Chains A and B, each alone.
Chain A
Amino acid sequence: MELIKVTIDNKVVEVEKGTTILGAAKKVNVDIPTLCHFKLHDMNIENKPGGCRICVVEVDGRKNLAPACATDCTEGMVIKSHSVRVINARKTVMELILSDHPFECLVCAKSGTCDLQSLAQQLGIRKIHFEGKKSSYRLDTSPSIIREMNKCIMCRRCEMMCNKVQTVGALSAINRGFDSVVSTAFEMNLKNSTCTYCGQCVSVCPTGALTEVDDTARIIRALADPSKTVIVQTAPAVRVALGEEFGMEPGTIVTGKMVAALRRIGFDQVFDTDFAADLTIMEEGSELLNRLGKHLAGDKTVKLPMLTSCCPAWVNFFEKQFPDMLDIPSTAKSPQQMFGAIAKTYLADKMGIKREDLVVVSVMPCLAKKYEAQRDEFKTNGNPDVDFSISTRELAHLIKQTIRDFDSLPDEDFDRPMGESTGAGVIFGTTGGVIEAAVRSAYELHTHKKLPRLNFEELRGLEGIREATIDFDGLPIKIGIAHGLGNARKLLEDIRAGRSHFHAIEIMSCPGGCIGGGGQPLHHGHSSIIKARQAAIYKEDAGKAIRKSHENPDIIKLYDEFLGTPLGEKSHHLLHTEYFNRKK
């Protein structure tokens, strides 16, 4: 490792050879603005086209200004990060970008969290000195995502996410010069492309070009309708991220305040998706044991490994890209859909109302859940099990419209019965969590012995692909974990080629799992935020009185009163699904 010395704004710093000026500046806390450059540390995610030039700096002895994100340090370099020349150049660059940007900030969905807006503010832009043509593209609306490319600044972060990280390939830069834009093949609607609705492009877009479909107005309408009972479920990853929208430290757990806020907004009952996560474990865990038992008995028709199926973007991915492997994932529905199916039958009966008069809303860290809720398989006579699915960001908007000070809300608890949950349900929100929850229950159901421990550190972490072997009382169970669809693809290709040695694999589409979901508060490239959310998830789990899904008293009651047994006829009908070849 070769070290070199550079001077930035009179501060001397030693960096490894190959470090960019931007990287060196970070080390000495010199803030250089960036726009197209994007990096999630420790996750191997970087966008570095060097295209926007907002990051230019002055380098002694060089005629031209250098883009800090794309210029490597050399020995003895002397750098000025904010000379008059630099500031003027940045302003010019910003004005040029803005000269082809619609001035709709006041009513833009990204207002307040837009990188372009905050940078314009930071640079003190008061007037655009250039007048030119403005791009004009048609709006592309899908069940989950809206593309408004008039607001695109061609940073190509979305393209990097979709191609390099997710390997979905729905997006690419097209055309050249003024006409260039990021688009789908043949500029078809996103709906018809290979898009999985993972929302990772949305989560890195610095402008309002890519946003989620906003369902909050429809929810307000339902809440105002006296003939409807409106209930809500909240996914585990929401409670460890929502606080960020109200200025709290990343990793703050706001479960109680979130419940209180939802009641004040007017939901009739506030429930927990964690309850449905426990239910998922009952079904998925039983399915795993069932497949495993048959496999060990020599039944060659049983496919192993079994893959988890609770991530809807992952389901879209394999339906579109691996249609030859539809029998490998578990048939268990996702927790969102299990919740909806039970709410519109068991709960509606208990409440004495018709399913049509019960409106089920879910709050998810995810944009793919919007599409999932609209799938035909999850409707009865046209009435969906989940009526509306909104993101963590949309919930924050809804709260801001209704409540003055989120911080000072009291902590309140979920309603029962579908609000009772365990620590196993909570950890569904992070990569490694679903499989850990499954292990906690499958172990005890299989061995009929008490687990000697509850924390499976070997399954935790943020490494893209992880593996571990868990001893099921003499039976070694091999487990694989992947997050990010590019990593999932690798495991799938291994299975297809007959190289996979796993019994079970957990897959989540988003980097970090649901905590890094496409519907979460924007992390603006700070992976420390995702780590803080993950730590919060495990903290919430550790604090729970019950930490194994099969010990959830309301789940036990649900099977006694209504479902019968896991994988039984009723469970099969309500809690399992099938997959379709959606390759075009």
Chain B
Amino acid sequence: MATTEIVLKEKQVQQIKDICKQFNNESGELINVLHKTQSLFGYLPSEVQVVIAQELNMSLAKVFGVVTFYSYFTMTPRGEHPIDVCMGTACYVRGAEKVLEEFKRQLKIEVGETTLDGKFSINSLRCVGACGLAPVVIVGDKTYGAVTSADVKNILKEYENK
């Protein structure tokens, strides 16, 4: 689970501290703090969790426990083009799993991972509320509907030179 070590810049540490302060440094607000911090950095590397644990005066193990409990939180940076595959019931019954498998096969990464060149990452989501388009795949800001595994190659191609 270890991510590559990073050193936070002073400014970044201050940003995390500010977020904690917005929530009165209350340990009960951990989830909100994590949420806000993740939207700032895109992910929650261990170094960020260390600062949060300190600021909220709680054990690092507990913070890590919460980060790993919710699939929404991630400790790996998302790719330049994050791929989200909806696994809600409608998408699932229409073959979303096969689509997801195909993305994994082509990119040679698992769900929650990022390709070595940092270009793509894969995530599976619960229902995104676009059931009419099932199965739905979202890459960055762009939504694709009625995706089949045969479409995967073409979708990836769109981003290859971006």
Q: Could you tell me which A residues sit within 8 Å of B by CB distance?
A: 163, 168-176, 180, 183-187, 193-194
Query: Do B68 and A171 touch (CB < 8 A)?
Result: no
Is the CB–CB distance between B58 and A185 below 8 Å? no
Minimum CB–CB distance from B108 to chain A (whole Å) comes to: 22
Contact partners of B46 in chain A: CB under 8 A: 185-186
B4 to chain A, nearest CB (A): 13
Residues of A within 8 A of B60 (CB): 169, 185-186, 194
A-B contact list, 9 entries, CB within 8 Å: A169-B61, A169-B62, A174-B65, A174-B68, A174-B69, A175-B69, A180-B69, A185-B59, A185-B61
Q: Is B1 an interface residue (CB 8 A)?
A: yes
Instruction: Judge whether A183 and B69 touch: CB under 8 Å.
Output: no
Residues of chain B in range 63-112 having any CB-CB distance to chain A below 8 Å: 63-65, 68-71
Q: Is B150 an interface residue (CB 8 A)?
A: no
Q: Interface 1/0s, chain B 29-73, versus A by CB < 8 A?
A: 000000000000000001001000100001111111100111100
User: B58 to A169, Cβ gap below 8 A?
Assistant: yes
A170 and B58 CA atoms in complex are apart in Å by 11
Given contacts A174-B68, A175-B69, A176-B69, contact A186 B59 (CB under 8 A): no
Contact A185 B69 (CB under 8 A): no
Contacts A163-B59, A169-B59, A194-B59 given: A186-B65 contact, CB under 8 Å?
Answer: no
Distance in angstroms between the alpha carbons of A175 and B59 in the assembled complex: 16
Q: In the complex, are the beta carbons of B68 and A184 less than 8 A apart?
A: no
Complex contacts, A169 vs chain B, CB 8 Å: 58-62
Contact A193 B61 (CB under 8 A): yes
Q: Is B7 at the interface (CB under 8 A from chain A)?
A: no
| Set B2, B64, B70, B71: member contacting A172, Cβ < 8 A | B64
Query: How many A-B Cβ pairs are below 8 Å?
Result: 52
Q: Say which residue of A175, A176, A180, A184 sits within 8 Å of B61 (CB atoms).
A: A184
In the complex with contacts A186-B1, A186-B2, A187-B1, A171-B61 CB distance below 8 A: yes
- Shortest beta-carbon distance from A249 to chain B in Å: 39
Chain A's closest residue to B59 (CB) is A169
**Chain A: minimal CB distance from B65 (Å):** 4
**Contact partners of B63 in chain A: CB under 8 A:** 185
Could you tell me if A170 and B1 are in contact, using CB atoms closer than 8 angstroms?
Answer: no
Given contact pairs A175-B69, A176-B71, A186-B46, enumerate 5 new A-B contacts (beta carbons under 8 Å). A170-B61, A174-B61, A176-B68, A185-B60, A186-B1
A467 CA to B24 CA, complexed, in Å:
35
In the bound complex, CA of A519 to CA of B106 (Å): 53
Complex Cα distance, B63 from A171, in Å, reads 11
Bound form: Cα–Cα A163–B46 in Å: 20
The distance in angstroms between the C-alpha atoms of A184 and B64, with both chains bound, is 8
A181–chain B nearest beta-carbon distance, Å: 10
Residues of A close to B59: CB separation below 8 A? 163, 168-170, 172, 185, 194
* Known A174-B69, A175-B69, A176-B69; contact A186-B62, beta-carbon cutoff 8 A: no
Nearest B residue to A173, CB-CB: B65
Task: Point out the residues of chain B lying under 8 angstroms from A174, CB to CB.
Answer: 61, 64-65, 68-69
Q: Which residue from chain A places its CB closest to the CB of B70 in the assembled complex?
A: A176
Q: From residue A258, how far is it (CB to closest CB) to chain B in Å?
A: 38
